[in-house]
Every structure is written in C-alpha cells, then in structure tokens.
Amino acid sequence: MADNNNSECDGNCSSCPSAAGCNDPKKAESGIAKKVDMNVRHVILVLSGKGGVGKSTVSTNLAMALSNKGYTTGIADMDIHGPNIPKMLGIEAEKLTSFDGKKISPVKITGNLSVVSMAFLLPEKTSPVIWRGPMKNTAIKQFLEDTEWGELDFLVVDLPPGTGDEALAVAQLAPNIAGAVIVTTPQEVAILDSSKSVKFIEQVNLKVLGIIENMSGFTCPHCGEAIDLFGKGGGEKAAEELNVPYLGSIPLDKEMCEAGDSGKPFIVRRDGTEQNKVTWQHVDDVMENILKQIKD
C-alpha cells in the first residue's frame, strides 16, 4: 500500500506501514486496527534506535516541562519490557486502579500530569514481562483507549528502543500524532540506529519533530574543562543529512542521572550551581524547540 491514494496497493494491509493513514475501503476487511477514541490534541512519540541513550529521561522532562507550562499532559510508558517512567517520577509504589469498573485510572503526578505504565501492574519491581507481540499490542490499545485520560493537550509516548511491535502499534492506533522526537548520543553507532528511527517515522507517514543529541559533552566539575566522552555533533550532522530538524544537545551531567534515580525530573531542579544552570538551559531550549516544531 504505497500511498493514501492506493494506486499501487497490493491489498496486503497487515504488512503495510502506511495502513494507519490509509482510507482505502479494503482496509476495513484487513483487520488493521482503527485509530483509538481519545480526547487528545497532540501525541508526541519519543523514540531511540538503541537503548541507553536517555529516551525515558527526555520523555519525563518533556512531559514535566509541558505540564509546568499549564498544559494538561499524560505520559504513556509503552516500554512494556523495561518501563522506567515511574522510577524517574518517584511513583514506583503506585498501582493502576479502575475508574468505573471499565476504564483505567492513570496515576496522577500533579493536577495536570498523569501516567500509565506497565510497571504499575507488576507484582514486583523485578518481575519480567514475558509477552509476545499480540499481548503487547492489546496492552498498548488499553493504555490509549481504555484509560480515563480526560481532555489532554499532550500525550507523551515513551517507546522502547527500535522500530518493532510497540512503535508500529502506537503509530497505527494513536490519534492526532504531532510527530516523533528521536533521541541519540553522539557516537556513530547510536547515530546509525537513530537514522533507522527517522526512516521508520517517515515510512509510517508521520512527522519527525527532530533529533536530540543527549550526553553531548561533559564539563569537569573540578577544572571546568569540556570533554567529549562520546564525541560531539553527531546528532546535528545526522539531522542535516536526513533533512530533519535538530532540536539541540543535552550535556552529560551527573545531576541529570541523579535526578532520574531520585524520582525528580531534572527540569524542575535548580540548585544554583553553574553546571546545573548550563544543563538546565540546554534542556529548556530543547523542550522549547519541540514545541516550536509542533506549532509550525
């Protein structure tokens, strides 16, 4: 199914990445799920080509930044096998409850920020989720459609690394997707994988909001020297080569790591140190650039 006009459609909707945006009547017979019914203005996908690049950190800080601006915001932690959002928000002990016997009540962080995550359903923090694709897809649909989100300005979707079941299911099911933020680190192996994420988003006919280069440089707290532990500029170069926006860089900062482990997003921490101010400004600039891409 090559495009929305389906001039080259072969009828095989199940393997077509464009099926989510296609209006061909044949799709109704294919079993491809329709967009879920939820009241959200903008859905933002956060992806990475590989693990360990700070995708969940970006998702958490983005959602907190949006809620601090007064937007009603939700976080859907779609990393079924490795859900980290509750840890980063300091709500690991919470559990999902039923709203009316049918709808799921998300966990409230503030008056305008709420979360759903597989972590809230696990009997223990270390319990693995051993599921195949169909079960994951069912959970994803429930997190979107069967959750009492209310009216949302933004839903930030934290996806697992790569371009597998979860990413494709969300791309096909979620309504009003504003686009995707791709998180990478500067080294070439990460850039290669992030390029695949960009191509994936383009193939499912969604907008790439841009690339963020995380862990971009480190400033020694003792001598103040800048050290490029993982290189520098790879994310910006990839954005230029792929012709997508570059959203900015976030330096490698010890306090960023501590913020995630302590359950208090970095963007709400300002302890007054010079390095904290520099990192905070980088994070704030990145979040503003994401909003600008959505508004544009």
Is 133 annotated among the ligand-binding residues?
no
3 state SS of 89: helix
Strand pairing category for 73-77 and 177-184: unpaired
Is 87 annotated among the ligand-binding residues?
no
- DSSP E strand stretches across the chain: 40-48, 73-77, 97-98, 104-105, 107-110, 113-117, 152-158, 177-184, 208-219, 226-227, 246-252
> How far is Cα 193 from Cα 236, in angstroms, rounded to an integer?
15
Is 49 annotated among the ligand-binding residues?
yes
Is 74 annotated among the ligand-binding residues?
no
Tell me the two tokens of residue 191: 């850039």
Strand pairing category for 40-48 and 107-110: unpaired
Strand pairing category for 226-227 and 208-219: antiparallel
Q: Which residues are annotated as a binding site?
A: 49-56
Q: Which residues are annotated as a binding site for ATP?
A: 49-56
